[in-house]
Structure 1
Amino acid sequence: MRPNSGESTVQYAARLREKALSCNFVDIDDRIIEHLVQTTRHSEFVRKVLHKQWTLQEALNDAQIHEDTSVQIGAMGHQERDIARVSKKKKSFTAASDSRNDRGLNCRYCDMKHPFQKEKCPAYGKKV
């Protein structure tokens, strides 16, 4: 058996257990963990299982934590890309431009285009 696409390690182990029940293994948990080690694509998981000599339950707990964390990191990556996309958009004021704007320069305080007068800049005088 091999893990299905998108199948978690815990789900895969459950499928292995169902199949192993019909095989009359002496120690099903040992056979399942051996099979997980042989068929997983996660080398860090294999290293931990072998180095720490984990039981099946310990291995599944670690795999669950790793997979949950990966999902959270993936979700955060989408948020970061969305934030970056929004922050790249520059706001500009509709007031008449002056010679500084005609040269394509942005305000040194807010990095936006607007009439070059400190009083008109929303960032002037503000502290971070």
Structure 2
Amino acid sequence: MTEPNLLSSLAGFALYFMIAVVMIKLLLWAYEKLTPYDEGALITENNIAAAISYTGAKIGLAIPMAFACFQSVGIFDFIIWSLVAFAAQMTLFGVTVFARPLLISQIKVGHVAGALRLAGSSVAVGLLNAAAMSY
């Protein structure tokens, strides 16, 4: 690779990486605001269940975002697919809470099994979401 091509590739990497970091931070902030409990406060209080469920959501969002970054034809395309990934995670959360109404109170009191179920579902949806992002 010649030097101008390397610099161009590095610039493209930096642009996509910075946008991906900003997007995941914004989407995780929105996730925290839309869920009925404060993950940040619960995690600060050493609530392992909250940390597990939040980490599952983070991974479940990062997987399709990584695939979208790889697959996208431009920045706007990447942003749209990131928003689709976020919508899938929020839909999963809503369906799970609807199907298991005690889950919220269980996570608030540190019920690890419920948090693992939610985290596993978040990762599974993220993987399926990423696989479905094909052109």
Please give the TM-score of this superposition, normalised by the length of structure 1.
Answer: 0.33
Please give the TM-score of this superposition, normalised by the length of structure 2.
Answer: 0.32
Please tell me whether Structure 1 or Structure 2 has the larger radius of gyration of its CA atoms.
1
Structure with the greater relative contact order (CA < 8 A, sep ≥ 6): 1 or 2?
2
